Amino acid sequence: MKKTSTRLADGRELIHYDLRDDVVREAVDRRPLDPVATTSEIREDRLLGDFVAIASHRNARTYHPPANECPLCPSKDGQLSEIPDSSYDVVVFENRFPSLAGDSGRCEVVCFTSDHDASFADLSPEQARLVLDAWTDRTAELSHLPSVAQVFCFENRGAEIGVTLGHPHGQIYGYPDITPRTELMLRSLGAHKAREGGNLFDELVADELADGSRVVLEGEHWVAFVPYAAHWPYEIHLYPKQRVPDLLALDEAARTEFPQIYLELLRRFDRIFGPGEPPTPYISAWHQAPFTALDAYGVEREDFALHLELFTIRRTSGKLKFLAGSESGMSVFINDVPPETAAERLREVASS
């Protein structure tokens, strides 16, 4: 992997990640851009103990442009985009309309491929490994920023999810504090450690392997399963078998196997609902240990288990799972698809 860092016309950072070491990146952003102006701020909800990002400037962000005006495609034929070069492998750049900025953290965009009509599932194992390396590098870089306590790499895919750009891409958020969802995990992890003395993540994975009914795919270094209490109709959790706190700690064997496992999971997701169905909308989210001291939860960073959660809001053909009264009002999910049934279906649609 070759990494090349440059600046866009408004001062934002752009980084190329290339498969070949001999690639030279010298293209200049020729757009007449004004400096980025953001209104991001973090506000605490004192009643719930969590926080909300207020970012009114995002109302002006690009919304479903035609393919020939996609800001994530390479610049060519007189059409200037966020990427000055005429081609690229993987590109990461600071979001022009960030939810988090300055003292409130950082937001970046990750373009997985220059092919506008592709998806992550269409990538080769070599390309998918390059994305993994980019995620890892950005996690390392953002962890050094004083405004970042936790790094979150994720992909939203599909208009049903709310994606406003069709080009295959994801995002990386550097949060200024530990997120509410991670806090819940840390509290459960710490309580279990104090009560039982063991590691809750290790026991959950061991229990799923022992039961087997919800295991979807298992490799030498990774295991994917539908969790016992899945919130979403089709939801997969992917864990390295050797517990590590973050992407930085993955060994080479796990990195090598990851593309085959992950690409197969994504391809199965697109086959869940049968032939002729549109691509399955999904969210794919890496959960990593925060880069702050975790003494308040009674755990250490090494107690946390890196894992990826992949889920879709489509519950059956042509129907979505909406977060209605119970889910949105009280955070109590009601799942129409038994996890064992979901796992069976995800095994049925394995690649031949």
CB atoms near residue 266 (< 10 Å): 22
Pairing of strands 222-225, 150-157: unpaired
CB atoms near residue 229 (< 10 Å): 9
Per the CB < 8 A criterion, the answer to whether 256 and 133 are in contact is no
CB atoms near residue 271 (< 10 Å): 16
Please state the separation of Cα 163 from the chain's center in Å: 13
With CA atoms as reference, report the closest residue to 105 among 175, 36, 11: 175
3-state secondary structure 204-270: HHHHHHHHCCCEEEECCCEEEECCCCCCCCEEEEEEECCCCCCHHHCCHHHHHHHHHHHHHHHHHHC
Angstrom distance (rounded) from CA 30 to CA 9: 7
Q: How many residues does the chain have?
A: 352
Angstrom distance (rounded) from CA 250 to CA 18: 21
Concerning whether 169 is annotated as a catalytic residue, the answer is yes
At residue 212's C-alpha, the angle toward residues 206 and 217, to 5°, is 90
Three-state secondary-structure class, residue 5: strand
Please identify which of the residues 16, 57, 169, 287 carries the catalytic annotation: 169
Six-digit token string for 107: 């937001």
Sequence ranges of the binding site for Zn(2+): 70, 73, 116, 167
Sequence ranges of the binding site: 70, 73, 116, 167
Residues labelled as active-site residues:
169
